[in-house]
C-alpha cells in the first residue's frame, strides 16, 4: 500500500526527531572526580544533566597527581577535586591550559590528634604533619596561625611556606607529607592537619574527631575545572547549572551536615 505524501512527511518528521534525540543523548563527556563526596555529588549532577542530553561519565581517581594531566591531555573533559590556589600553582608550575569555571564545595581543613583534645594542650617541641604541596601546606600554616600557634611573615598570601614562619613559641616541629597519606601518619605525630576528603577516607569523622577546623568562609573552595578552550561551551554551562542547582545544594546539606558545605 502506497503511503500518502502527508503521512510520508509525518513519518519523516518523527524519524528526524528520533535521530535528533538520539544524537543529543549521545553527547558524552568524562569528568574525573575524587573518591568520596566529590564522586557522590557528581552522581547527582549526572542525573540532572542527563535530562539535557548529556551522558556524564564519572571516573574516580584517588591520586592528586593524575587529575590535571588527564584533563590537560584530553583523557577527560573536566575534573572536580581541587581548590583554586592548588590549580593556580599547578598552572604556574606546569603550564596547563586549564580554567576554573565554577565553585562547587568547601571541605574545611582540620587538625586531628590521638593524644590531645585541643590545640591548647599541644606540647612544646611537639610534631605536627601538614600537606607537602604549596597550596595545602600554606592553608595548614594559615590555620595554625589563626589558632595562635605560629606567626607568618606578612605578604605571603595563601601559599606561605614553613620558611615564612617568623614566630613559633611552642617550637613546633613541622613535617611535610603528601596530603593523601597524612592520616596514616597520625599515630606518629602529636597532631596532623588533614584535608576533609582524606580524613574521611582515613576513617576519621571531621565533625567529631577534628580538634580544630578552619572557617567555612574559606578561599579554598573546590572548583569545577575544564580545558581553557572548552570553558564557554554549552555542555560546560549545563554542567555548571547542575552543580549550582537547588537539588545539589539540598543533597550536600543533608548528606554531609556541615562537614562539606556548598561553595556557591
For residue range 20-40, what is the model confidence (pLDDT) as tens digits?
444 445 599 999 999 999 999
- Say if residue 124 is in the same domain as residue 185: yes
Whether 76 is covered by a domain: the verdict is yes
- Say if residue 224 is in the same domain as residue 255: yes
Q: Name the residue range of residue 155's domain.
A: 110-213
| Buried/exposed 41-79: b ≥16 CB within 10 Å, e otherwise | bbebbbebbeeebbebebbebeebebbbebbbeeebbbb
Secondary structure in 3-state letters for 136-148: HHHHHHHHHHHCC
Would you state the pLDDT for residue 7? 55
Q: How do beta strands 191-194 and 127-131 pair?
A: parallel
Whether 8 is covered by a domain: the verdict is no
Q: How do beta strands 222-227 and 78-83 pair?
A: antiparallel
67: domain CATH number is 3.40.190.10
Whether 17 is covered by a domain: the verdict is no
Whether 3 is covered by a domain: the verdict is no
**Measured CA angle at 55 (ends 52, 57), to 5 deg:** 145
- Say if residue 125 is in the same domain as residue 194: yes
Whether 100 is covered by a domain: the verdict is yes
Would you state the pLDDT for residue 219? 87
- Say if residue 96 is in the same domain as residue 226: yes
How far is the C-alpha of 110 from the C-alpha of 191, rounded, in Å? 10
Total number of domains constituting the chain: 2
- Say if residue 136 is in the same domain as residue 177: yes
Angle between helices 134-146 and 84-94 (to 10 degrees): 140
- Say if residue 209 is in the same domain as residue 118: yes
Contact criterion met (CB below 8 Å) for 32 and 59:
yes
- Say if residue 82 is in the same domain as residue 165: no
- Say if residue 120 is in the same domain as residue 202: yes
Whether 61 is covered by a domain: the verdict is yes
Instruction: Identify the three-state secondary structure at position 116.
Output: coil
- Say if residue 63 is in the same domain as residue 97: yes
Q: Which residue bears the cell 607529607?
A: 177
Please state the separation of Cα 103 from the chain's center in Å. 9
Q: What is the pTM of this model?
A: 0.75
- Say if residue 205 is in the same domain as residue 240: no
- Say if residue 48 is in the same domain as residue 92: yes
Q: What number is the average pLDDT over the span 144-171? A: 96
Q: What number is the average pLDDT over the span 213-240? A: 94
Q: What number is the average pLDDT over the span 118-142? A: 95
Whether 151 is covered by a domain: the verdict is yes
Q: Of 63, 2, 7, which Cα lies nearest the Cα of 32?
A: 63
* In the chain, beta strands by DSSP E: 27-34, 54-61, 78-83, 98-103, 105-106, 110-112, 127-131, 151-152, 165-167, 173-177, 191-194, 212-213, 222-227, 261-262
pLDDT confidence bin for 178, thresholds 50/70/90 = very high
For the stretch 68-110, pLDDT in tens is: 999 999 999 999 999 999 999 999 999 999 999 999 999 999 9
Would you state the pLDDT for residue 80? 98
How far is the C-alpha of 210 from the C-alpha of 118, rounded, in Å? 9
Amino acid at each position: 500500500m502506497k503511503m500518502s505524501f502527508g503521512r510520508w512527511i509525518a513519518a519523516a518528521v518523527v524519524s528526524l526527531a528520533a535521530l535528533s534525540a538520539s544524537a543529543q543523548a549521545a553527547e558524552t563527556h568524562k569528568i574525573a572526580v575524587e573518591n568520596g563526596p566529590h564522586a557522590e555529588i557528581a552522581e547527582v549532577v549526572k542525573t540532572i544533566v542527563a535530562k539535557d542530553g548529556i551522558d556524564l561519565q564519572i571516573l574516580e581517581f584517588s591520586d592528586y597527581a593524575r587529575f590535571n594531566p588527564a584533563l590537560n591531555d584530553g583523557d577527560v573533559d573536566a575534573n572536580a577535586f581541587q581548590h583554586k590556589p592548588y590549580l593556580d600553582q599547578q598552572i604556574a608550575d606546569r603550564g596547563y591550559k586549564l580554567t576554573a569555571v565554577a565553585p562547587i564545595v568547601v571541605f574545611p581543613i582540620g587538625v586531628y590528634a590521638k593524644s590531645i583534645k585541643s590545640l591548647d594542650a599541644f606540647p612544646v617541641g611537639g610534631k605536627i604533619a601538614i600537606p607537602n604541596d604549596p597550596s595545602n601546606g600554606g592553608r595548614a600554616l594559615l590555620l595554625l596561625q589563626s589558632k595562635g600557634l605560629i606567626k607568618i611573615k606578612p605578604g605571603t598570601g595563601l601559599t606561605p611556606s614553613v620558611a615564612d614562619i617568623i614566630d613559633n613559641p611552642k617550637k613546633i616541629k613541622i613535617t611535610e607529607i603528601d596530603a593523601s597519606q597524612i592520616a596514616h601518619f597520625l599515630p606518629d605525630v602529636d597532631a596532623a592537619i588533614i584535608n576533609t576528603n582524606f580524613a574521611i577516607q582515613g576513617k576519621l569523622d571531621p565533625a567529631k574527631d577534628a580538634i580544630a577546623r578552619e572557617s567555612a568562609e574559606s578561599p579554598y573552595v573546590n572548583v569545577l575545572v575544564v580545558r581553557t578552550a572548552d570553558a564557554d561551551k554549552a555542555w560546560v554551562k549545563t554542567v555548571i547549572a547542575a552543580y549550582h542547582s537547588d537539588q545539589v545544594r539540598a543533597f550536600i546539606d543533608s548528606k554531609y551536615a556541615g562537614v562539606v558545605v556548598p561553595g556557591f
